[in-house]
Amino acid sequence: MQSDRLIEQSAIPEKSRRQFLQKGAQAATALLGTSVMGACGGGGDGGSGAASTSNLAALLPASANPAGPISPESSAAPPAAAMPALAKSPVIHSFSPGLEKRGKVIVISGAEFDSSASVCFGEVVATRLSVDSPNQISVFVPDSAKDAEIIVRTAGGEARSSRKFEVALVPESARDYRLAWHDEFEGSALDPAKWAAVTGVRANAVQTPEAATVADSVLKISTYTDPSAGTHHTGFLRTARLYEFRFGYIEARVRFASKPGQWSAFWLMSNANKAATPPDPAAGVEVDIIEHREFSENDAGKINNQFSSAVHWNGYETGKTISRNTGQQQLPAGQSFSEWHTVGLLWTPEGYEFYLDGAATPYATIKEGVSLSNQYIKLTCEIKDHGWAGNIPSSGYGPLGAGTNATMEVDWVRVWQAA
């Protein structure tokens, strides 16, 4: 009986057997074709899209390929040279700029880009892009984009950037500004081409470079007490003569752990801010973008979730300084300065606008004391006993690195200006 069955099977006409295989291949191709993905909506855990149905058909042997010729020769596999090449998975080498505003263009450099390419900013699909070459894609940052990795998908697979793209949340009035200067604190120490550490005694603190450290892409300025001498130390950084600018939008990402008798500040200063008759703010102004303290004067009240901004001009001679300030501002309920916040200043010939956490509107506007002079950036911590930040603790702030240190941490500082 076994030999009879073999004889019966071998007697099946070759053409009928081939037609049966062709129909099976058509069904398999249609089924597999349903798994093809586009844009950024799939990929599973691996994140790679499936090959196209035409490529799947090409992988079938010729005898089972409905597109192949029906001939005795088609039952044999074609030579390797005749097999169509499969699309290769794309590769992302870099993208630039790494920080950009929504609606602006960034350029992705890599390899194996083709006309099937789609780009996502995290889960947000970019709807406007151009595949300039197999090695370059130009893409507009979507209006709903957030900080996220960049994903490029093609028929050959998927590539993800090794770092996140960052969305620049500048005010609408600064939408066309370009990044002019920045420090992301990526190294293991302060960049001496950008910052100078001031030394000397200021009020009740010794300003020392040792108080400013950089690690894990964060600048930390610590306020501490030397246990052997009982002296208090802190850091005072500035960009004077290294970087100065006039007009633009400046922003920093900061968090604070302030202590009584101590305060932290992110501000601008001009060397030309001196007393004059009549007062001339155009020559230079102190612009306090943010000042933070834990306690008010004489430890009267805890205000660690508040902050203030101000401008001061006409020098610092007693009775001659002119000031305008925003008053104490309160963080939204449930928030604190132990968490990261962005603070920004838009400085134009018309005045100053102060921003918090990328808000569309400023929390305060000051239209007096407008500087028309170049200003430099300052990141500082200061100590003054029985001053506006309260009283120095009797035990001090602990040695450098102790959990009792007051600290100001800065993730980055960025300046945008009109092109």
Read off the CATH number of the domain in which 393 is found. 2.60.120.200
Please report whether residue 86 resides in a domain: no
Domain ranges, residue 57: 12-68
Contacting residues for 352 by C-beta, under 8 A, at least 6 apart: 287, 311, 345, 346, 365, 366, 367, 370
Cα dihedral 314, 315, 317, 319 in deg (nearest 10): 30
3-state SS, residue 14: helix
Q: What is the DSSP string of 144-200?
A: T--SEEEEEEETTEEEEEEEEEEE----GGGTTEEEEEEE---SSS--TTT-EE--E
Number of domains present in the structure of the chain: 3
Please report whether residue 131 resides in a domain: yes
Please report whether residue 18 resides in a domain: yes
3-state SS, residue 28: helix
- Distance CA(30)–CA(28), nearest Å, equals 5
pLDDT at 298: 83
Please report whether residue 387 resides in a domain: yes
pLDDT at 175: 87
**Same domain membership, residue 337 and residue 237:** yes
**Same domain membership, residue 412 and residue 302:** yes
Please report whether residue 80 resides in a domain: no
**Same domain membership, residue 177 and residue 162:** no
Q: Is the dihedral of CA 381, 387, 390, 391 positive or negative?
A: positive
Choosing from 167, 183, 211, the residue where a domain stops is: 167
**Same domain membership, residue 229 and residue 320:** yes
**Same domain membership, residue 258 and residue 328:** yes
**Same domain membership, residue 333 and residue 219:** yes
Q: How far apart are the first and last CA of the chain?
A: 89
**Same domain membership, residue 299 and residue 360:** yes
**Same domain membership, residue 197 and residue 342:** yes
- Quick one: which H or E segment has residue 6? helix 2-10
**Same domain membership, residue 345 and residue 297:** yes
Q: Where are the alpha helices (DSSP H) in 11-102?
A: 14-33, 53-59
**Same domain membership, residue 61 and residue 130:** no
Instruction: Give the closest residue to 379 by CA, choosing from 207, 200, 179.
Output: 207
CATH of the domain at 140: 2.60.40.10
Cα dihedral 293, 294, 298, 300 in deg (nearest 10): 120
Please report whether residue 85 resides in a domain: no
Please report whether residue 74 resides in a domain: no
- pTM (two decimals): 0.76
Run means of pLDDT, 10 residues per run, the chain, 419 residues: 40 50 48 44 39 38 43 48 74 96 96 97 97 98 96 97 94 90 96 98 97 98 97 98 98 98 98 91 97 92 96 95 97 97 98 96 97 98 96 97 98 95
Are 276 and 283 within 8 A, CB to CB?
yes
**Same domain membership, residue 207 and residue 353:** yes
Token pair recorded at residue 50: 């499936």
Are 404 and 222 within 8 A, CB to CB?
no
Helix H, strand E, coil C: the string for 287-338 is EEEEEEECECHHHCCECCCEEEEEEEECCCCCCCCEEEECCCEECCCCCCCC
**Same domain membership, residue 118 and residue 55:** no
Please report whether residue 1 resides in a domain: no
